[in-house]
Structure 1
Amino acid sequence: MANTEKLLDLPLEEVIGDRFGIYSKYIIQERALPDVRDGLKPVQRRILYAMLQDGNTNDKPFRKSAKTVGNVIGNYHPHGDTSVYDAMVRMSQDWKVRNVLVEMHGNNGSMDGDPPAAMRYTEARLSPIASELLRDIDKETVAFVPNFDETTEEPLVLPAKFPNLLVNGSTGISAGYATDIPPHHLGEVIDATILAMENPDCTVEDLMTHIKGPDFPTGGIIQGVDEIKKAYRTGKGKIVVRARTEVEQIRGGREQIVINELPYEVNKANLVKKMEELRLDRKVEGVAEVRDETDRTGTRVIIELKKDGDAAGILNYYYKNTDLQITYNFNMVAIHRKTPKLLGLKEILTAYIEHQKEVIINRSRHELSKAKERQHIVEGLIKAISVLDEVIQTIRASKDKKDAKNNILEKFGFTEIQAEAIVSLQLYRLTNTDIQTLQEEAAELEKTIARLEDILHSEKTLIRVIKKELTDIKKKYADGRRTTIEDKIQEIKIDLEVMVASEDVMVALTKQGYIKRSSLRSFSASNGEDAAMKETDRVLLQQEMNTTDTLLVFTDTGRYLYLPVHEIPDKRWKELGQHVANLVPIEQDETVIKAITIKDFSQPGYLTFVTKLGLIKRTELAQYKAQRRSKPLMGIKLKKDDTCIDVHLTHGASNIVLATRLGYGLRFDEEEAGLVGQRASGVKAINLKKDDTVVGAKVFEEGERPDIFIATQRGAVKKMSIMSTLEKTARARRGLTMLRELKASPHRISGIELVNHDDTVWLATEKGITTSVKASDLRASDRYNNGSYVVDQDEAGPVVSIWKDLKTKEDKEKN
């Protein structure tokens, strides 16, 4: 009968789901995750077992790595040779593994990420401590299963005479699971294992009296004991690992930072390259050179500083911006009872202790069975020697060995095993000394059987045996701790001086939002001319600043842009500059209203905002220091129809002067406006009439006596003494009238300025015509005077804005 094809009509999702499920189960259980008992992945276990089977142990000469890889692929692990060789190399790298399991001759890679030599060039053998993982494997201690082609058997797990999962750690990614278990100190782990055995109710805190934290092969410094505790309790946690450094004095009174231990699994070559790139890009100042002086004596990376280099600041910058400091995330997942499980420290130790008990019980059963077999034979031999002449007679009378064996069985009542031993006995063994030896052996076997039965019947004895074996391994293999543990995670503060070369520059910002910084040389070459700008534009800020300063640029929407001066585009003074929207994205209809320069945000001071609808808000300056500056930040929360008209940096004793469109003026102390948070909206500053708005908000310090300059939409200007015409009151009042009300075409205030005798004020009309007025040309007037006309409204259009000339009297005299 011909075979008929059987087609299954199944949904694709079901087929893929089913197949992927099988594949996932395989890679979780049989590839990427370690077993909690011996801390090994299948490929690692197979490499170690294949080396043992081949006699490739640490007391024999090295063998070619290719021979081991061939054995592993041919007998146990039907995968590519690269994956097997890579796993073998990793077990030999003393910067990846705390106690290496494979000793290798030849190039086995480096901390710089260099690849190892090909397996035909390198030689390897088991390390002494790897033999402890395999010890007693021939004594039926662990289960064996057939290999992939059923030609031989392989162990499911190794006897593992020390808790390898914690000692060497593990890292791996499978389907839906990943693991990151850091390496630990052998002595500490063994002490904690003994504690957990003797006191099963111990807590994580008890275990941590022995295991202080991870102990990385590359040393370094760990910060964050609380996170270590959390990781040991839950299996997950995050610690900070930083390099170990010291500062050395070198010629010329300069310093250099020496890095002699790196964080775990950091590629040294990439780190040095990144640090040098940051220096070349001038992201960090004060560094002359970064070079790698590592040799066979150990890691040595040098950061050579310039004469004025700040070692602590530069180190902090590198900690924050390179892998000189990393965060290590615990994710202690291992296969426990054939299932991937997130395990805490105690669960890992408990699983290991269970495994050890099983191993010692299985070994004891095996040895007991062997001892009893031998005891039986020894008893037969002693009995045979006591009736030696008759036994010899019986043997001589027999036809052959089989007949002799049967005759002895019948005549003397020996068992078959004893009879076999007697007929196989050589004549020289029948001396008096041999009888004595047999009696001694019988006594010794008696003791051994009693000892083994005690182990099998007494939990206390069992624990004592495991404890002794662990203690012996600790004495033999434990070395000093390499990683230092610090209690707290240190917050990294970076001084701007470290990142930015301190340089005095000229900064200009225009009303239309064009910004630039120029060198003082470029500014001087222009003979002190105003910054280049469009015809319809004007200068909002033109000031000498330092590259370590910050410029806060405020917009009418109540938002602000945080611009470190060193990040403002460097242009020649005669160039236009870049629009602020290219640095920080702002809305198309959002306009710049003010720029304030800040040297130090920790200095006492307040930002005081005033809005069109008469609100005032005062907040501590420190709250406006920003970490993220890629987007506009909120300065004041505005109501729907409101806009921000001005912002001032005040110091607690300023006078606030407000003017409204309908001609009201109000003066009060800034302390009238209580302090609120950065995202608040403020309190009422002035009590506005219906349809009135605030058109000007100015401040002056106590002790100053400026005049108030007022311009109306009809082109009239006037100057008044603030002290005599605007007496100080409380906020939220209507204020005093500053213009005489006219029924026909009344004057409305377009803007105000606070002026001194030498100041010049500019007026701009709706048609773009500008006019300047010197404060010295105006006589002081009272509140009921509407001033004198300087602009013809019919010809130029109404006045829409006014501003004070930024050039001082000294600037003008210079030019």
Structure 2
Amino acid sequence: MSKIENLTLEDVMGERFSRYSRSIIQERALPDIRDGLKPVQRRILYAMNKDGNTYDKAFRKSAKSVGNVMGNFHPHGDSSIYEALVRMSQDWKVREPLIEMHGNNGSMDGDPPAAMRYTEARLSKISSEMLRDIDKNTVDWVLNFDDTEYEPTVLPSRFPNLLVNGSTGISAGYATDIPPHNLGEVIDAVLYLQKHPKATLDDLMGFVKGPDFPTGAIVQGIDGIRKAYETGHGKIMVRSRTSIEPLKGNKSQIVITEIPYEVNKAQLVKRIDEIRLNKKIEGIAEVRDQSDREGLSIVVELKREVDSQGILNYLFKNTDLQISYNFNMVAIDHMRPVRLSLKRILTAYLDFQQNVVKKRTQFDLQKAMDRQHIVDGLIKALSILDKVIKTIRASKNRKDARDNLVNEYDFSEKQADAIVALQLYRLTNTDVTELKAESKELSDQIAGFQKILNNPSELNKVLAKELRQLAKTYRNPRRTEIQNKVSNIKISTDVMVPDEDVVVMVSHDGYIKRSSLRSYKASSSESGLKDEDYPIFMEQLNARDHLFMFTNKGNLIYRPVHEIADVKWKDTGEHISQTIGLDADEEIIGTFAFNSLKESGNFLIATDDGHIKQTSFQDLKPGRTYKNHAYTYEKLKAENAKVVAVQYLANPEQSSELLLISHHGLALRYGLDEVPVNGARTTGVKSMGLRGDDLVTNLQLIQPNSVVAIVTQRGAFKKLAVKEIPATSRARKGVMILRELKAQPHRVVDFVVIDHEDQPLEVLTNRARSHDILPKEYSVGGRYSNGSFVIDVDSEGIPKQIRIKPSELTVN
């Protein structure tokens, strides 16, 4: 009867997961520091070598190799074994392929390989170096999963495969990303380290310049390489190799001949073509993949007279033409996963190779000594040949003959076996001479082997000679170029933003949109706004222009025109509060468009609690967070204070005057030169001497002959000549421009400068109603008149604003 144990779930899960983690870390996902192989890769190479499926023999079906590996050594799915086998053959994934394949073994486009029943495989020539001397007891062996035969725990790996071919893998709590390197460079570093055990990282980097990817390309960032080689963790930029070629008719094309490591070429071409189709940037005419057996070639054909370098920079930034590669050099060292420096990897490999050479020499020494023992026995037997033959003839059988030779002539059992097995034709004088020559040769070999084993410097000489020979045989030029600095990619707005005209609208309720001229022309009568909403800004602009929107609570919202939601004209657009948090009662009171952010003008700003200032355009230039945050352009002192007017002065040095009118009907006129220029986060100076609960209603720039239109809360309209208001100085009380009534006095709600008499004005009420006024139908009144009643406040609502009626927008 089985014993039932009471265990907590926590203990069971912890112990089981620990075992599972250890299994996948040590036996699946991470490479060994000595041969750079994961178990499945090691088993594939060993099984194919064992079956004689080597580079100097014919190819065999991949399915046979996969079956042998799965049946004898790796009890997992055939697909995982085949995938590992295929990857070792892909010359765009590994720097020195360990497998040669006939048939479709995949592609840089991410195409899967053909099924293993169709493809053929064998070990490559350099794989023979991974397995060389494996039959000379150079590595440890363990029983396979069913205890039927032995498999190696590591391959002799006569070249430093971990660095040469790199590795990538993910296990429980660990991952590894070791890039491929140049075989000649790594062997040179090993040889230098062998002579200089205290070599510094700088010494080693004199040989190992950096990764050498099979796909070539350009690595930028020597500091990242150095950090990775020092700590095992670092970041570099890998950039495609590109050139810009001129074409006829002022056209050009970008030709890409090398792409970053492990980038899917088909996906890269598709992404570039999507940028062309979606018009993320203007100027790309066509994208073609012209790769063939001669090599990789992606051509990006450009339109006439475009900034080709700017487009290339955009592609570097927004596609996998340039990627960041993160070193994470983790491998199994003495049964533990360790993050490794370059020196530790090279030191571990060197120690391992010294051990391999030592074990091989011990094996060869023992073999030579065993053979010499046999040869000495044969020479002795030939010297007493007649006696030996007589003894053998008198024996009953082979075993009896062997025993008699041992007993009568003092041969060892091995010598006696060799004598009994000797063929009659060997019993000649010639053979004695050959045996003596062989004995001398064996003595020399034994002395040589003992010298190697007894003297570490001799062992190192042998290892160095073999490494130099290996480098001479397999060395090939570096493919990846190393550049010290990471290039700073600057993308011109002209590249990203098409040079096209659009219609931009900002509504009273805070909706903002841009539409193509075509869409506007097709549906200009349908603004897409709610019935009670109306445009406060609508102009034809260029997509490269800049929009500044000022709110009545001192907040500035900036938008490049090309970033405004591009919608059909009959759509509403986006509400500005979707990206920037504004108060519910906050309104946009001024919107301005500019061609560039290098303007030299000033903004004139007035608040209802009697403050005024100028702020330079450059003080209000947007920062990096403009997409999510508004900027303060006016610091309001009172909690309920509001900005009532924002004007832009392109040439502030040109003298002009301004007019302020208060709610109670007081008007103040003075020169602009009295208003100082202050920073963005300031309140400004006193604009007008307000009394009691009086407020400033608006500010207008005026000329001495200007006429203003005034509207009151009772629906009265009045025209007043500016010359009726004397020019004084800032911060005064002002003069009365209304006739004061004891009952139901008039109060000014807004005023505007009349440009010319034939231009209609529009009064907007608190019921979202509008009332048109033609100025020429009304005469200019004196300072002490209250004007004419033009609006029925009971039916239309109380006036809120008067403005020049927007004319129908005519687009080009």
* TM-score under structure 1 length normalisation: 0.85
Aligned partners of 1:756 and 1:775 also within 8 Å: no
How far apart, CA to CA, are the structure 1 residues paired with 2:96 and 2:559? 51
- Does residue 339 (structure 1) correspond to residue 336 (structure 2)? The answer is yes
- The aligned amino acid for 2:31 is P
* Residue 555 of structure 1, aligned match among 551, 554, 560: 551
Whole-angstrom distance in 2 between the partners of 1:686 and 1:770: 34
Instruction: State the 1:633 CA deviation.
Output: 3.7
What are the superposed Cα offsets for residues 352-380 of structure 1, whole Å, 9 maximum, x if unpaired? 22222222222222222222222333344
Unaligned stretches of 5+ residues in structure 2: none
Match of 1:230 in 2: 227
2:682 aligned partner? 682
Query: Using the alignment, how far apart are the partners of 1:228 and 1:722 within structure 2?
Result: 78
Distance in 1, Cα, partners of 2:439 & 2:307: 78
Q: Which residue of 2 aligns with 1:242?
A: 239
User: After superposition, where does 1:299-314 map in structure 2 within 5 Å?
Assistant: 299-314=296-311
Query: Residue 209 of structure 2 is aligned with which of 212, 215, 231?
Result: 212
In the other structure, the counterpart of 1:801 is 801
Q: Return the offset for 1:477.
A: 1.5
Residue 725 of structure 1 aligns to which amino acid in structure 2? A
- 2:113 is paired with a residue whose SS is coil
Could you tell me which residue of structure 2 aligns to residue 325 of structure 1?
A: 322
Contact 1:243 1:259 in 2 (8 A): yes
Change (3 A) 1:705 1:355: farther
Per the alignment, residue 10 of structure 1 pairs with 7
Amino acid corresponding to residue 488 of structure 2 in structure 1: E
Could you tell me how far apart the structure 2 residues matched to 1:243 and 1:132 are?
A: 32
| Cα 1:626/1:772, change in 2 over 3 Å | farther
* Displacement after TM superposition at 1:52 (Å): 0.6
Relative to structure 1, is the Cα distance of residues 506 and 188 closer, same or farther in structure 2, using a 3 angstrom cutoff?
Answer: same
Retained in 2: the 8 A contact 1:196–1:350? yes
| Kept in 2: contact 1:91–1:101 (CA 8 A) | yes
The reply to whether residue 163 of structure 1 matches residue 165 of structure 2 is no
Does residue 578 of structure 1 match 2:597? no
Secondary structure at 1:128's aligned position in 2? coil
Deviation at 1:42, TM superposition (A): 0.8
Q: Does 1:359 align with 2:356?
A: yes
Alpha-carbon distance in 1 for matches of 2:272, 2:200: 43
**Pairs aligned (count):** 790
The residue matched to 1:57 in structure 2 has which SS?
coil
Report the equivalent of 2:279: 282
Kindly indicate whether residue 95 of structure 2 is the aligned counterpart of residue 93 of structure 1: no
Aligned-pair identity (%):
45
Q: Deviations over 1:665-694 (max 9, x none)?
A: 776669944556xxxx33543388786766
1:416 Cα deviation (Å)? 3.5
Q: Which of the numbers 727, 730, 733 marks the counterpart of 1:725? A: 727
CA RMSD of superposed structures (Å): 4.0
Amino acid of the structure 2 residue aligned with 1:682: T
Q: Which amino acid letter does the alignment assign opposite residue 549 of structure 1?
A: D
Distance 1:197 1:236 in 2: 25
Task: Give the equivalent residue in structure 2 for 1:789.
Answer: 787
Residue 438 (structure 1) aligns with: 435
Structure 1 counterpart of 2:597: 601
The equivalent of 1:509 in structure 2 is 506
- Paired with 1:705 and 1:261, the residues of 2 have a C-alpha distance of 71
Letter of the structure 1 residue corresponding to residue 274 of structure 2: E
Q: Distance in 1 between matches of 2:129 and 2:607?
A: 78
Shift of 1:191: 1.7
Aligned to 1:50: 47
Match of 1:191 in 2: 188
SS of the residue corresponding to residue 437 of structure 2 reads: helix
User: What SS does structure 2 have at the residue aligned with 1:725?
Assistant: coil
Counterpart-to-counterpart distance in 2, 1:137 and 1:474:
20
The corresponding residue for 2:373 is: 376
Structure 1 residue 58: deviation in Å? 0.3
2:201, 2:28 → 1: CA distance? 30
Is the 8 Å Cα contact of residues 718 and 787 (structure 1) preserved in structure 2?
Answer: no
How far is 1:590 from its partner? 3.5
* Matched letter for residue 326 of structure 1: I
Q: Is the 8 A contact 1:291 1:301 kept in 2?
A: yes
Gaps (5+ residues) in structure 1? none
**1:649-798 maps to which residues of 2 (within 5 A)?**
653=652, 659=660, 661=662, 672-673=676-677, 675=679, 681-686=681-686, 695-696=697-698, 711=710, 718=720, 720=722, 725=727, 727=729, 734=731, 737=734, 739=736, 750-751=749-750, 763-764=763-764, 766=766, 768=769, 770=771, 772=773, 789=787, 795=793
1:398 and 1:7, CA in 2 relative to 1: closer, same or farther beyond 3 A? Answer: closer
Q: 1:638 to 1:399 in 2, by over 3 A?
A: same
After superposition, the C-alpha distances for 1:651-675 in whole angstroms (9 at most, x for unaligned) are 6846896958575677666994455
Cα deviation code 1:273-318 (max 9, x no counterpart): 2222222222232222222222222222222222344322322232
Give the structure-2-normalised TM-score. Answer: 0.85
User: 1:15: Cα distance to partner?
Assistant: 2.3
State the distance in 1 between where 2:34 and 2:431 align. Answer: 45
Closer/same/farther in 2, CA of residues 554 and 204 from structure 1, 3 Å limit? farther
Structure 1: distance between partners of 2:620 and 2:31:
50
Mapped contact 2:54–2:124 kept (Cα < 8 A): yes
Q: 499-508 vs 255-264, which deviates more?
A: 499-508
Distance 2:786 2:147 in 1: 111
Partner of 2:140: 143
Amino acid corresponding to residue 547 of structure 2 in structure 1: L
Q: 1:67 aligns with which of 64, 67, 79?
A: 64
Q: 1:765 to 1:315 in 2, by over 3 A?
A: same
User: Per the alignment, in what secondary structure is the counterpart of residue 261 of structure 2?
Assistant: coil
1:112-135 deviation digits (Å, cap 9, x = unpaired): 211111111111000011111111
Q: Look up the match of 1:122.
A: 119
1:74-114 deviation digits (Å, cap 9, x = unpaired) = 00001111111111111111111111111000111111211
CA apart distance, 1:426: 3.4
CA distance in 2, matches of 1:187, 1:524: 68
Aligned twin of 1:297 = 294
SS of residue in 2 equivalent to 1:213: coil
Provide the C-alpha distance between the structure 2 equivalents of 1:248 and 1:98, rounded to a whole number of angstroms. 30
Aligned-residue offset at 1:584: 4.1
> Per-residue deviation at 1:182?
1.4
Gap change, CA 1:531 and 1:92, over 3 Å in 2: closer
